[in-house]
Amino acid sequence: MTEKDGSPNQSASLRSATRPYLSLDHLEKTFGSLRVTADLSLVVSEGEILALLGPSGSGKTTVLRLIAGFETPDSGRVLVDGEDVTPLPPERRRFGIVFQHYALFPHMTVGENVAFGLEARRRKGPEVRDRVARALAAVDLAGFERRKVTEISGGQQQRVALARALAPEPRILLLDEPLSNLDPSLRERTRRELARIIRAAGITTLFVTHEQDEAFELGDRVALLHEGKLEQLGTARELYSSPATRFVAGFIGRSSVIPGVWEKATGRARLPGGAAWRAVADSDLLDGAPVDVVVRPEALTFAGARNGTAAEGRVLETRFAGHETYFSVALEGGGEVEVLAVPDAAQPGWKVFVAPLPAGPLPRVYPGTGLSLSPVEAK
Amino acid sequence: MTRRNLAAAFLALLLLWLVGYPLLVTLAQALEAPRWTLQHFTEFARRPEEWRALWASIWISLVTVGLAAAIGVPLAFLFERAEFPGRRVLGSLVALPVVLPPLVGVIAFLFLYGESGFVARGIQAVFRLEEPPWRLAGPAAVLLVHAYTMYVYFYLFTRAGLARLDAALLEAAAGLGARPRTVLTRVTLPLLRPALTGAALLTFMTSLASFSAPYVFGGGFRVMTTQIVASKLNGDIPAAMVETVTLAAVALIGLALIQRSETGRVVAGGGRGVAPARRQLGRSRRFVAGFGWVLAAILLLPHATLLLVSLVPRSTWTIEILPPVLNLSNYAALFSEPERLRPLVNSLWMAVAATAGALVLGFAAARLAVRGRTPLGGTLETLLAIPWALPGTVFAVALSATFSVHAPWVGRFVLVGTAAILPLGYLVRNLPLTGRAAFGGFRQLDPALDEAASSLGAGWWKRLSRVDLPLLAPALAAGASLAFLTALGDFVISIVLYTFETRPISIEILSSLRLQETGVAAAYGVVLAALSAAVFFLWGRRGDEMRTGSGLHLPH
């Protein structure tokens, strides 16, 4: 997040991120009886990097393919700078795409790969050579023109794919899980490089990922998809601290879900053991309605004794996480929560009292399903 | 309807006209349309010689499968699982018969083991016999030639299956206490089952369609393919049509039965891990190597004989055991006399034309089906594969029946007797080879490459020329090479459809033999074999993979 928060490129990017540039207008797509994308609308500003985040099968790659023109929507439109590109074939959209497995042409050299898009647009010899050199230099691969794509590392292949996509100066850059093909050790470094290159290019970018860290670090904003629907669109901080739906709350970060009853007058959720926790809810939630209380581990603490907000429970197990530890606590009356606290705060088997931190983010409540989920299950 | 679907519909119609329509015409003629009577089928059923030929086709094919397996499977185990001096070279030599045209193998056998061949002459001289010790004729001769030419399928399939075997599975069995014999019967052979079934299917179909061996060695012994040609040459067209339909039905039933026996028996888990290491042989390695070399010599002997006979000038070899004079006069005649050169030129241009046509159709169908995801993709693939399932004789007779009538309004033109019919026949037979190569190539090609090219602004022609064709070139070259070899050495289609002007090499070999010009016949055979080997080793080597992987080889 550091680069996003402080770099000059980021500032430049955000400065220009005001004019709507790429718009998805009520996109719908079904494969047979499977509805993959349901009435999806969103707007990406000029120069903005939007992360399309979601679990497997959420329809995010389909959305990318609809934008790229590889799939035709059943209804809805894709607009770029006001122009409806929906009827255009991919080769006439002038988008750059980085594929999950890069799709580098194995029979061509690095230089020929990067030159391909320029030649397809009828650029001539000296200009092509110059732009290939510049594109490769931009991804720190200057002088790699004659290398075979099969002889370079995975990280280098990824950068060649990026250079190839950027060389023809596309209107939009689309990236499909750009880091998923790399070793975990290489992924973080490449992620930073990718962010630097894209921001330097200042291009409107949409990338697909199922990794929260990736989405949060690379994306100016994040669009979270679930079963083809847009659950929430916002900054990483907004998604984490103000999840719009129960799915968002469960998907972003760690959280526990416990059953409760909503007390509208006091703005509290009553837990089965009797404790009542102050919480945030939609205004139309009725008094006395069963709710799911979603709470993050860092928002809970161990209280000294039972009081109105402390729920009694027993520590089931602990998970060491460096300077802090996650404690799984089975609450009296039902439900299980996870508490983040100092390692010696409790031991498995201890009876404890759990309460929300007074200054911490408030638990959020959603219409109840009656289910109680541990943080892992909630994912 | 999109442009892509329109193109697919047009291609499907064209393939239907080439592949399906002639079969329907044959069936209609067998039923004597428009009278629609089963009279000819009834007559067929009443004639004992028809039943004998049908039964001969079936039992010869079944026994061929057994013989080919008995030779090919042990050889595959020897060359894939044991290490000994010369293993690699011998392993390739043993597979050599697959490269050579069937008729060349047949005449090579004739020159070596025939009643006036080297072996018979030698034995006759040594034992001072008045008559040759045997006559290479009848079912035994046919089986001998079949076993010699078709063991290669079992050999190649089993070797490929063994190479794909995961060593960890065998080690797991051994670790659980299984003895080598138990590992073989409970693990190795069940895992090889798909490969063995594939080889059995290919051998059965090839044998059922075999024409060269029964035609040359059969004598009075008839199988369905020779029976069909005999009926046609005798002018009994209704009988030929019924026989053709019957043979096609038997081929399809055989195919269905074998495939059905494998349904639900798909062996999963193969193809992962590392193949088992070859066993280093101890004291027996020299014996095994010696055995291998002798075997290779036996297998190559017929072709060495062919080369020798091709050097024997006309009328110089009568009663001697070995030919007294050897020179290149036969080859000189082949290339200097226009009438002798003509079959070579004919075969070459017709094979090139047929291969090019089949390649274009196969490529177009595969691109529309795999890349274009047209709803007609399955239909296109099936139409391309049909000629594989049916014997060449069936198609030859079907094409002859369809294209000997002028009725353009029902898609029939007089092509029989013209230069177009043989290339057309070769083309139809080649469709499975080029089609399978193109479909396989496209399926292995990452669709993202095409999408990447498209997103970079490349139109369809640039994608085709810069991405698809260069990447598919090896697969297409392999398919085209096999198609070219099949057309170049074809005998079964040619004997039904040739004219004097368009006679190909195989027909000229046969007429040279009839005229007692054995040296010339052998020289044609050597040229054909050399051309085939050159094409195979230059472009077709990746065909090994195709053949062993997909069971793709046209019946003789």
The residue in chain A having the minimum alpha-carbon distance to the alpha carbon of residue B456 is A117
Enter the tokens of residue B190: 């069940």
Q: Inter-chain contact B448–A100, Cβ cutoff 8 Å? A: yes
Of A100, A103, A120, nearest to B457 by CB-CB distance is A120
Minimal Cα–Cα distance from A140 to chain B, Å? 21
Q: Which pLDDT does position A374 carry in this prediction? A: 52
User: Domain locations in chain B?
Assistant: 1-27+327-556, 38-310
Q: Inter-chain contact B456–A93, Cβ cutoff 8 Å? A: no
Mutation pick from A62, A65, A70 vs chain B, by most beta carbons of B within 10 Å, is A70
Assess contact for B239 and B40: CB atoms under 8 A.
Answer: yes
Q: How far is CA A104 from the centre of its chain?
A: 26
Q: Distance (Å, rounded) from C-alpha B400 to C-alpha B418?
A: 11
- CATH class of this structure's domain B38-310: mainly alpha
Minimal Cα–Cα distance from B308 to chain A, Å? 45
Assess contact for B556 and B210: CB atoms under 8 A.
Answer: yes
Q: Distance (Å, rounded) from C-alpha B290 to C-alpha B281?
A: 13
Q: Inter-chain contact B451–A68, Cβ cutoff 8 Å? A: yes
Q: Inter-chain contact B471–A107, Cβ cutoff 8 Å? A: yes
Q: Which pLDDT does position B155 carry in this prediction? A: 92
Q: Inter-chain contact A93–B458, Cβ cutoff 8 Å? A: no
Q: Which pLDDT does position A184 carry in this prediction? A: 78
Q: Is the pLDDT of residue B269 over 50?
A: no
Minimal Cα–Cα distance from A68 to chain B, Å? 7
Q: Inter-chain contact A68–B455, Cβ cutoff 8 Å? A: yes
Q: Which pLDDT does position A16 carry in this prediction? A: 44
Mean pLDDT of B80-97: 82
Continuous segment of H or E residues that includes residue B88: helix B87-94
Q: Which pLDDT does position B68 carry in this prediction? A: 95
Tell me: the pLDDT tens digits for B438-492?
A: 998 998 888 899 999 999 999 989 999 999 999 999 889 888 988 998 899 999 9
Q: Where are the alpha helices (DSSP H) in A69-109?
A: none
Q: Inter-chain contact A99–B448, Cβ cutoff 8 Å? A: yes
Shortest CA distance to A235 belongs to which of A208, A261, A217? A217
State chain B's mean pLDDT as an integer.
Answer: 86
Residues in CB range of B280: below 8 A, 6 or more apart = B83
This prediction has a pTM of: 0.79
Q: Which pLDDT does position B346 carry in this prediction? A: 96
The residue in chain B having the minimum alpha-carbon distance to the alpha carbon of residue A100 is B448
Assess contact for B57 and B224: CB atoms under 8 A.
Answer: yes
Residues of B in Cβ contact (< 8 Å) with A31: none
The residues in B 414-453 lying below 8 A from A, measured between CB atoms, are 446, 448-449, 451-453
Q: Which pLDDT does position A163 carry in this prediction? A: 94
Residues of B in Cβ contact (< 8 Å) with A106: 471
Enter the tokens of residue B148: 């010699």
Q: Is the pLDDT of residue B551 over 70?
A: no
Q: Which pLDDT does position A223 carry in this prediction? A: 96
Of B448, B458, B470, nearest to A103 by CB-CB distance is B448
Assess contact for A44 and A52: CB atoms under 8 A.
Answer: no
Q: Inter-chain contact A91–B471, Cβ cutoff 8 Å? A: no
Least confident range of A297-301, B457-461, B547-551: B547-551
Mutation pick from B373, B455, B462 vs chain A, by most beta carbons of A within 10 Å, is B455
Assess contact for B61 and B257: CB atoms under 8 A.
Answer: no
Least confident range of A139-143, B124-128, B498-502: B124-128
Mean pLDDT of A23-51: 92
Q: Is B454 on the interface with A (CB under 8 A)?
A: yes
Tell me: the pLDDT tens digits for A206-259?
A: 999 998 989 998 999 999 999 989 999 999 989 988 888 888 988 888 888 888
- Sign, CA dihedral A201-A207-A210-A215, equals positive
Tell me: the pLDDT tens digits for B18-28?
A: 999 999 999 99
Q: Which pLDDT does position B82 carry in this prediction? A: 82
State chain A's mean pLDDT as an integer.
Answer: 87
Q: Distance (Å, rounded) from C-alpha B212 to C-alpha A117?
A: 54
Q: Is B2 on the interface with A (CB under 8 A)?
A: no
- Left, alpha or beta for A372 (phi > 0: left; psi -120 to 50: alpha)? beta
pLDDT band, very low/low/confident/very high, at B420 (cuts 50, 70, 90):
very high
Q: Is B466 on the interface with A (CB under 8 A)?
A: yes
The residue in chain B having the minimum alpha-carbon distance to the alpha carbon of residue A104 is B449
Of A69, A103, A107, nearest to B452 by CB-CB distance is A103
Mutual angle of helices A110-120 and A125-138, in 10-degree steps: 120
Q: Distance (Å, rounded) from C-alpha B320 to C-alpha B259?
A: 52
Domains of chain A, first to last? 2-246 (3.40.50.300), 255-378 (2.40.50.140)
Assess contact for B161 and B192: CB atoms under 8 A.
Answer: yes
Does residue B133 have a cis peptide bond before it, meaning omega lies within 30 degrees of 0? no
Residues of A in Cβ contact (< 8 Å) with B453: 105, 116, 120
Domains B1-27+327-556 and B38-310 share a fold: yes
Q: Distance (Å, rounded) from C-alpha B444 to C-alpha B448?
A: 11
Assess contact for A95 and A173: CB atoms under 8 A.
Answer: yes
The percent of residues in chain B predicted with pLDDT above 90, rounded, is 48
The two beta strands, A172-176 and A204-209, are parallel
Q: Which pLDDT does position A7 carry in this prediction? A: 41
Q: Is the pLDDT of residue B545 over 50?
A: no
Residues of A in Cβ contact (< 8 Å) with B371: none
Enter the tokens of residue B178: 């299984």
Counting one residue from A and one from B, how many pairs have CB atoms under 8 Å apart? 66
Structurally, what CATH architecture does the domain formed by B1-27+327-556 represent? Orthogonal Bundle (1.10)
Residue A181 per-residue DSSP state: T
Residues of B in Cβ contact (< 8 Å) with A103: 446, 448-449, 451-452
Q: Distance (Å, rounded) from C-alpha A57 to C-alpha A46?
A: 28
Shortest CA distance to B330 belongs to which of B486, B508, B488? B508
Contacts by B53-57, CB closer than 8 A, 24 or more apart: B53/B222, B53/B223, B53/B224, B53/B226, B53/B227, B53/B243, B54/B224, B54/B246, B54/B250, B56/B139, B56/B221, B56/B222, B56/B223, B56/B224, B57/B208, B57/B223, B57/B224, B57/B225, B57/B247, B57/B250
Q: Is the pLDDT of residue A376 over 90?
A: no
Residues of A in Cβ contact (< 8 Å) with B446: 101, 103
Q: Inter-chain contact B452–A94, Cβ cutoff 8 Å? A: no
Q: What SS3 state is found at B282?
A: coil
Of B449, B451, B470, nearest to A70 by CB-CB distance is B451
Who wins on pLDDT, B439 or A321?
Answer: B439
Enter the tokens of residue B452: 């990447």
Residues of B in Cβ contact (< 8 Å) with A96: 455-456
Strand order in the sheet with A34-45: A34-45, A20-31, A75-80, A83-84
The residue in chain B having the minimum alpha-carbon distance to the alpha carbon of residue A116 is B456
Assess contact for B218 and B138: CB atoms under 8 A.
Answer: yes
Tell me: the pLDDT tens digits for B107-138?
A: 888 888 888 888 888 888 888 888 888 888 89
Q: Inter-chain contact A165–B455, Cβ cutoff 8 Å? A: yes
Strands (DSSP E) found in chain A: 20-31, 34-45, 49-53, 75-80, 83-84, 95-98, 172-176, 204-209, 221-226, 229-234, 256-263, 268-270, 276-278, 290-295, 300-303, 311-321, 324-331, 336-341, 351-356, 364-367
pLDDT band, very low/low/confident/very high, at B35 (cuts 50, 70, 90):
confident
Give this complex's ipTM: 0.76
Q: Distance (Å, rounded) from C-alpha B501 to C-alpha B339?
A: 10
Residues of A in Cβ contact (< 8 Å) with B448: 99-101, 103
Shortest CA distance to A181 belongs to which of A154, A217, A210, A148? A154
Rounded to 5 degrees, φ, ψ at A243 are -65, 130
Least confident range of A164-173, B114-123, B201-210, B269-278: B269-278
Shortest CA distance to A243 belongs to which of A298, A299, A300, A295? A295
Who wins on pLDDT, A172 or B281?
Answer: A172
Q: Inter-chain contact A168–B452, Cβ cutoff 8 Å? A: no
**Torsion angle defined by CA atoms of residues B103, B108, B112 and B116, in that order, rounded to the nearest 10 degrees:** 60
Tell me: the pLDDT tens digits for A259-293?
A: 899 998 899 999 988 889 999 887 788 888 899 89
